[in-house]
A = this chain, B = another copy of it.
Amino acid sequence: MSGTKTNPGNFFEDFEVGQVLRHATPRTVTEGDRAAYGALYPTRFAVPSSAEFAASVGLSPAPVEDLIAFHIAFGKTVPDVSLNAVANLGYAECRFHRPVVPGDTIATRSEVIGLKQNSNGKTGVVYVRSTATNQRDEVVLDWARWVMVHKRDLDAPAPETVVPDLAPAVAADDLILPAGLDFTTYDFEAAGEPHRFDDYEIGEKIDHVDGVTLTDPEHMLATRLWQNTAKVHFNTEARPDGNRLVYGGHVISLARALSFNGLANGQLIAAINAGAHVSPAFAGDTVYAWSEVLDKAETPAPGVGALRLRLVATKGRDESMTLRGSDDTYAPGVLLDLDVWALVPR
């Protein structure tokens, strides 16, 4: 009987297209999460930092960082979707539908939207669309994700291949603006920088300058906070090299926080268009970030523009801000290549 009660996770042949997974352990967000996030990342964005500032732009109570919602919602999917994953291959079509405030309880469900067994017969790619809701069953965010998952039984038949059609980026018209958001009386001095929508040009790159050296306790604290249970983040016996792999979301949050220096007015994340964890990160690595403006769009919210940004995290500072080498592969040192829409004052 021993051992039969623990969660072995799902293997590739356990998924079928159309299947809905209701993920466990809804989680209530509190002011404690806001403080913990601020201890873990050098974030200073004025909306989540200040209840007064948030109210001045129409958001009251003050939402927590968008990425808190993302990490919690994402963490819920791990035990069912990616416990036996070989690799997280990508995200797409992640939209933030409404801010999360302390007291909100987040639950996540996922629908399997694609399956493709790999030619080696040992693994396959699972595509899911995940939806996080609050205690009023309102959608908080949703996203698509695909992961490569082990087969349990190599002789299990391959499923019919279904590859979903995912947008390369959320169209600007499909962005959802938080109800009440109004940047017309935006206080640039309180926010920390004078740069507004019109000051950013497509193609512009911004070196965020600052770096933070990773430690094991910090990324473990963060990863647990989101109830993410992947063994490799916590257990030195889980990898042959004895290192704890840093949760990719830790690098996302760190890069986002570092981007304050140059993008302090990118107050809210409206969408994550795509994301690639290019290289693993470990304790001792010093993480820097740079951004590139990929696109710009007006929005119907008063005074609010949207910048589509490539946010790149690197191990060691790359003042040249090079994403790819001449052979089109990622440049050495690139850890993360994230494509987001951020909301900024016009």
- Residues of A at the B interface (CB closer than 8 Å) are 1-3, 5-7, 22, 24-28, 30-36, 38-42, 44-46, 49-53, 62, 79, 102-103, 105, 107, 135, 189-193, 195, 199, 201, 204-213, 215-218, 220-222, 224-225, 227, 229, 231, 234-238, 244, 261-264, 284, 286, 316-317, 321
State whether A26 and B40 are in contact (beta carbons under 8 Å apart), knowing that A2-B206, A204-B2, A211-B231 are contacts in the complex. no
In contact, B35 and A50 (Cβ under 8 angstroms)? no
Chain B residue with Cβ nearest A189? B22
Question: A207 contacts which chain B residues (CB < 8 A)?
Answer: 2-3, 6
In contact, A286 and B237 (Cβ under 8 angstroms)? yes
Jot down 11 A-B pairs with beta carbons below 8 A, ordered by A: A24-B189, A25-B192, A26-B190, A28-B62, A31-B102, A32-B32, A35-B35, A39-B222, A211-B231, A213-B234, A221-B221
| C-alpha spacing A33/B190, complex, angstroms | 21
Other A-B pairs, 11, CB within 8 Å; known A30-B34, A51-B103: A6-B207, A26-B190, A27-B49, A38-B227, A39-B224, A39-B225, A41-B224, A42-B229, A44-B229, A51-B105, A213-B235
In contact, B235 and A44 (Cβ under 8 angstroms)? no
In contact, B36 and A39 (Cβ under 8 angstroms)? yes
In contact, B286 and A235 (Cβ under 8 angstroms)? yes
In contact, B39 and A26 (Cβ under 8 angstroms)? no
| C-alpha spacing A165/B7, complex, angstroms | 41
Question: A237 contacts which chain B residues (CB < 8 A)?
Answer: 211, 213, 286, 316-317
| C-alpha spacing A192/B102, complex, angstroms | 23
Chain B residue with Cβ nearest A30? B31
Question: A51 contacts which chain B residues (CB < 8 A)?
Answer: 28, 103, 105, 135
| C-alpha spacing A321/B1, complex, angstroms | 13
Chain B residue with Cβ nearest A56? B26
| C-alpha spacing A49/B29, complex, angstroms | 9
Question: A209 contacts which chain B residues (CB < 8 A)?
Answer: 3, 6
Question: A79 contacts which chain B residues (CB < 8 A)?
Answer: 192
State whether A50 and B26 are in contact (beta carbons under 8 Å apart), knowing that A190-B107, A193-B5 are contacts in the complex. yes
From residue A211, how far is it (CB to closest CB) to chain B in Å? 4
State whether A26 and B6 are in contact (beta carbons under 8 Å apart), knowing that A1-B201, A213-B234, A286-B237 are contacts in the complex. no
In contact, A105 and B52 (Cβ under 8 angstroms)? yes
State whether A235 and B210 are in contact (beta carbons under 8 Å apart), knowing that A27-B50, A44-B24, A201-B1 are contacts in the complex. yes
In contact, A224 and B40 (Cβ under 8 angstroms)? yes
In contact, A42 and B234 (Cβ under 8 angstroms)? yes
In contact, B25 and A190 (Cβ under 8 angstroms)? yes
Question: A286 contacts which chain B residues (CB < 8 A)?
Answer: 235-237
